[in-house]
Amino acid sequence: MSLFGFAFKPRRARTAQTARDRLQLLLAHERLGSSSAPDFLPQLQNDLLEVIRKYVAVDDDGVEIVMQREDAMSSLEINIELPSESAPKGAAG
Amino acid sequence: MSLFGFAFKPRRARTAQTARDRLQLLLAHERLGSSSAPDFLPQLQNDLLEVIRKYVAVDDDGVEIVMQREDAMSSLEINIELPSESAPKGAAG
């Protein structure tokens, strides 16, 4: 069962096609027409990556970030390739 | 333009249908067949909410969390309703 159309993009060809787990984070902020709330996704991005790094080893090289802004919706996409040999860390305090 | 099928679910009817901004976070962990990486999304969930709370006021009442586990994919969905009058906070240190 899929989450309302939420699906991984096909694995893209990489120079070194190694076996890797993947982590994908999608964040969308839907603003109402009457809302003048500023876009805070760019700032959130680094904090989210920092949190994820508490659990798994993330190489900067393996991170792809896509941000999109439309009138009423901002979205942030973070795609992370995790070396599959990297066991998740315990949750650091 | 949508992010590869990533789309908000239609606003659901609520008892008090107030005007609210919404924040939706989707996180998916795709594990390779050879990977025995444990599922760390449940632990991540609280940390992610904590990060989001640095930027916007979030009522526990306005948070909906859905977690799904399949053989090779775990996913976490966090839906947050933000009171539209709640201006985003500055990024706290």
Residues from chain A contacting residue B66 (CB–CB below 8 Å): 3
- Residue A65 included in any domain: yes
Whole domain around residue B71: which residue ranges? 20-83
Asked whether residue B74 is assigned to any structural domain, the reply reads: yes
In a domain, B46, yes or no: yes
Contact A24 B7 (CB under 8 A): no
Residue A67 belongs to domain with CATH number: 3.30.1070.10
In-domain check, residue B10:
no
Name the minimum distance, in Å, from the CA of A6 to any CA of chain B: 5
Does residue B90 lie within any of the structural domains?
A: no
Min Cα separation B27/chain A (Å):
4
Q: Does the residue B8 lie in any domain?
A: no
Q: Which pLDDT score is estimated for A21?
A: 86
Average pLDDT over residues A41-67: 91
Torsion angles phi and psi, residue B47, rounded to 5: -65, -40
Angstroms from A9 CA to nearest CA on chain B: 7
Examine the pLDDT at A75 and tell me if it is beyond 60.
yes
Number of domains within chain A: 1
Picking from B84, B85, B89 by the largest number of A CB atoms within 10 A of its own CB, the best residue to mutate is: B84
Angle, alpha carbons B15-B20-B21 (nearest 5°)? 140
- The pLDDT tens digits for B34-85 are 566 667 888 899 999 999 999 988 988 899 999 998 888 899 999 999 876 5
Length of chain B: 93
Would B73 be classed as within a structural domain?
Answer: yes
